[in-house]
A and B are shown apart, each in its own frame.
Chain A
Amino acid sequence: MIDFQLVSFFVLAVATVAAAIGVITFRNAVHSALSLILTLLFLALFYLQLGAMFIAVVQILIYAGAIMVLFLFVVTMLASEARDTESPDRIPWQRGIAATLGLILVGALSYLLFTGTAIDASAKASGANSLSLVVKTQGDTQAFGLALFHGFAFPFEVTSLLIVVALLGAMVLGRKG
């Protein structure tokens, strides 16, 4: 019998990478944005497969929803006036260098992945910190909320400051004159 988890992993992996490559290869910025939405939705499915329900829903709501609406809004606003195609390249060796650097990065990352230390059982959280235990007794979102408002309360509050600064920055940059 074919393992459903294994099959869904490979289908998702191929789909996600294909959509990600689409983001950087489409000539039209709107197509790139749609491809990015697809990538983000596939990643949300990955999160579901990994048991992170809350993160998957937040990914769809905030990333595929809010952030990408903002992206599409700006892309369509600028695309009506900008040229469809990019102007001819003034740095002819750019693509060759970029491909070389990308291959070096793939090599370095896979070297690290295949020579690094494997995660053993001693690294896992245990007792009250165990995620699976909290999820089993209380639920996934409850486990997330408990950690957010106990261990991560300060970063959470700093986040609100960051959002206010970003709001003000967008207003200052966007105003006329």
Chain B
Amino acid sequence: MSIPVSWYLIVSAIIFTVGVTGVLIRRNPLIIFMSIELMLNAVNLSFVAFSRFLDSVDGQMFVFLVLTVAAAEVVVGLAIIVSIFRTRRDIDVDDMNVLRG
């Protein structure tokens, strides 16, 4: 038997929720960043599942573009975190309340 598409969507929804919860409860910006990656990947799983069950390649194209955007986002985000750490010597999102460098 083949696995229905909704099962993949349920796994995707669970991973997405884990990512959202991670963003809400953690205060280390690196782990918050990893939770954002979790959310992106949860959506990617939905895209690939839909691509399979709608028999169209478009879902895989979106995953490819999401991968590229995620790579760019990680590069800029980590550069910002390193730059914050260089000026403040401490990384805790509760302490970050100024945008000045």
Contacts and interface: CB of A to CB of B under 8 A. Distances in A.
B6, B18, B53, B54: most-surrounded residue (chain A CB, <10 A): B18
A170 B79 contact: yes
A33 B34 contact: yes
B49 to A, nearest CB: 6
A39 to B, nearest CB: 7
B45 A66 contact: no
Contacts of A174: 79, 82-83
B21 to A, nearest CB: 4
B92 A87 contact: yes
A125 B61 CA distance: 15
8 closest cross-chain pairs (CB), A and B = A24-B22, A98-B24, A166-B72, A173-B79, A125-B56, A109-B13, A102-B21, A170-B79
Interface of A: 3, 5-6, 9, 13, 16-17, 20-21, 23-24, 29, 32-33, 36, 39-40, 43, 46-47, 50-52, 54-55, 58-59, 62-63, 66-67, 70-71, 74-75, 77-78, 81-82, 86-87, 89-91, 94-95, 97-99, 101-102, 105-106, 109-110, 113-114, 119, 123-126, 129-132, 134, 143-144, 146-148, 151-152, 155, 159, 162-163, 165-167, 169-170, 173-174
